[in-house]
Structure 1
Amino acid sequence: MSPSISVVVCAYTPRRWNDLRAAVASVVRQLRTGDECLVVIDHHEELLGRARQEFAGAQTRVLANAAERGLSGARNTGVAASRCDLVGFLDDDAAAGDGWVEALRAAFDDPDVAGAGSAIHPAWPGGLRPAWFPPEFDWVVGCTYLGLPTEPADVRNVIGAGMAFRRDVVDLAGGFSAEVGRIGAAPTGCEETELCIRIRQAKPQLRIRYLPQVQVAHRVGPERLTTGYFLRRCLGEGRSKARVARLVGSDAGLSSERSHVLTVLPRAVLRDLRRGLRGQGSGFKGAALIVAGVAGAGFGYVAGRLAARRTTRSRP
């Protein structure tokens, strides 16, 4: 018998109301009998009341985040409320493609699979990628980036906008850590990275699967298409990785990043420089942003590690 699944959609702001409605609808139409969709509202009473009026139904429950404010607390609230074998997660500004639920469910036919994630494709404003935006940095907008496998593969971690885990494994690992992750619109993250690493540290035989054939569309708002946001997000990622490295060790916390920086990004810089030399001005901007993004993430990482050391020394 195939496992049942609870899909958790967390929301924190009414500004994404139409996105939230689309996200929930994309899930509910795919549910089987015994599945459910859990909409978790992160400490926003007005949004909570509106969501309860809109979404409450036979297979949908609306919950208030009962834990600390932020994405990790909201996700943990969903896990705790789940009545199913698997717990999935979809961002409130994302829409699951046809077959998303079934493809994730099927991944767990293998008893050694603890988690699975789909490809997350950016839905750009106007449907066009900005020419200057390097695809190797699509993680900046919460999406699959150039450098990930193009065929199903075991990976260190999945992308949080569209993923699923065995519920008992999440419970065993202690859930999402409140020490990492996004709070509101803050440009931080890595809560799913840290959880995936902890799962495999607890049970090394378990696997995390990436399923690039499974699709989620992730809306990219125009506010994320500025150089300032790009650099702030890179800085925030570096700080988040510092927290992950402190919690699970730098070898595990940075293994994928080292490979990406050393093998994928140098080729990307050369590609964009060639574009610039051929008269495409966006190529020079793309190359500059790759270098600046790596520098920003590195600075954020060092700053995060130093801040952690100061905090540790100041404790009695």
Structure 2
Amino acid sequence: MSDAGHVLAPTPSAPPARTAGAPTVSVVVCAYTLDRWDDLVAGLAALRHQTRPPLEVLLVVDHAPDLLARARTGLAPGVTVLENVFERGLSGARNSGAAVAGGDVLLFLDDDARPDPDWVEAGTAAFADPAVVGTGGTAVPAWDAPGRPAWFPESFLWVVGCSYEGLPGDGAPLRNPIGASMGFRRADLLAAGGFTSGIGRVGRHPVGCEETELSIRVRQRRGGAARIVLTGEAVVHHRVRTDRATVGYFLRRCFWEGFSKAVVAAAVGSEDALSSERSYATQVLPHAVVRGIRSTATGGGAAGVQQAAAVVVGFGTTAAGYAYGLLARRSRVAGTGVRRG
């Protein structure tokens, strides 16, 4: 949806050139800060050497005049630099790219992620199936020195925007992809209204779930056998800075993820919004706790029990964020004088 609440509409353009029945691909990269300039340049350079070159690469700058000026003069040819014409935030920036893109398929890449050479090819292959409306690739963490903290559990790598323990196998259905490496059919994304503003990251505020909410709406609108699938061979290396490898960031991100899930549940219904969390909470996390404790008990060192403790605390913090989100919504509804029942 646009920031006025209207459906995001495509911008008229000449039909893109097609390759023997294969969908054309636009890559959309969103950026908001000069602090990631080197990562951004590396990611864009990797896009120039793909086994399947995209139709176009669109860089959308999110209300950052200094970054916009440098991008327009300091990038190699082949990248179209755009401004986010919607409300500040990742949702608005992605919508700005989607509105003008010429490809049948939109692949979204984070500004601090570097794709493998076959990322476009692997991330697009599944769209040969008409029932596939979206794809999610693999995001491998690229930790800054000194590397991944010993206490950080595999099952919570979503905290740093990476693929985590509990995801299904390659080709399996997903509720939603990871934002660092994902794709949607442009027509389906536009028909569903695009990403919703008010959900998702704005600057450094560690909220999320905009991909979840959009994915659910796209499938609900299409109905039938519409699927989003995991394309495990579409790999990006997602940088994890030291400020995200701290307990403080871990807890903040967990809390706001829970809050965001409450917002999504209110928008699309809790059945769809929490469908993946049920198995994650009842199967993946208990297994991670037991494994961590067992590792320490059998001489594996303190890291195992530390990871088990992080799982418990992370889950509790996420649940607290969800509860806070529900209470905040109810307070807003009560304040309007609207009766529920």
Structure 1 residue 212 and structure 2 residue 224: aligned? Answer: no
Give per-residue Cα distances to partners, 1:23-74, cap 9 Å, x unaligned: 11122322857700000011010100001112363x3200111000000000
How well do the aligned residues superpose, as a CA RMSD in angstroms?
A: 1.5
Partner of 1:231: 251
CA–CA separation in structure 1 for the residues paired with 2:295 and 2:207: 31
CA–CA separation in structure 1 for the residues paired with 2:52 and 2:119: 12
Partner of 2:151: 132
Q: Among 88, 100, 103, which residue is 1:84 paired with? A: 103
CA–CA separation in structure 1 for the residues paired with 2:146 and 2:106: 31
Larger displacement relative to structure 2 (151-160 or 244-253): 151-160
Partner of 1:113: 132
CA–CA separation in structure 2 for the residues paired with 1:211 and 1:131: 29
Structure 1 residues 252 and 243: CA distance shift in structure 2, 3 A: same
Contact kept? 2:27, 2:54, Cα under 8 Å: no
Partner of 1:25: 45
Match of 1:29, SS state, is: coil
Larger displacement relative to structure 2 (64-73 or 147-156): 147-156
**Unaligned 5+ residue runs, structure 2?**
1-20
Partner of 1:36: 56
Structure 1 residue 193 and structure 2 residue 212: aligned? Answer: yes
CA–CA separation in structure 2 for the residues paired with 1:121 and 1:315: 45
Q: Among 249, 258, 275, which residue is 2:295 paired with? A: 275
Partner of 1:261: 281
Contact kept? 2:119, 2:233, Cα under 8 Å: no
Superposed, 1:94-173 pairs within 5 Å as 94-126=113-145, 128-173=147-192
Give 2:201's aligned amino acid. R
For normalisation by structure 2, the TM-score amounts to 0.89
**Unaligned 5+ residue runs, structure 1?**
none
Contact kept? 1:55, 1:62, Cα under 8 Å: no
For normalisation by structure 1, the TM-score amounts to 0.96
Contact kept? 1:23, 1:94, Cα under 8 Å: yes
Superposed, 1:4-23 pairs within 5 Å as 4-23=24-43
CA–CA separation in structure 2 for the residues paired with 1:235 and 1:254: 16
Match of 1:174, SS state, is: coil
Match of 1:262, SS state, is: helix
Give 2:247's aligned amino acid. T
Contact kept? 1:187, 1:236, Cα under 8 Å: yes
Partner of 2:330: 309
Contact kept? 2:175, 2:276, Cα under 8 Å: yes
Q: Percent identity between the aligned chains? A: 50
Contact kept? 2:52, 2:120, Cα under 8 Å: no
Cα distance, 1:124 vs structure 2: 1.4
Q: Among 231, 234, 241, which residue is 1:221 paired with? A: 241
Partner of 2:83: 64
Aligned residues: 315
CA–CA separation in structure 2 for the residues paired with 1:233 and 1:295: 12
Cα distance, 1:279 vs structure 2: 5.4
Cα distance, 1:3 vs structure 2: 1.2
Larger displacement relative to structure 2 (42-51 or 31-40): 31-40
Give per-residue Cα distances to partners, 1:211-245, cap 9 Å, x unaligned: 11221110000001111111111001001101110
Give 1:69's aligned amino acid. R
Contact kept? 2:169, 2:230, Cα under 8 Å: no
Structure 1 residues 256 and 150: CA distance shift in structure 2, 3 A: same
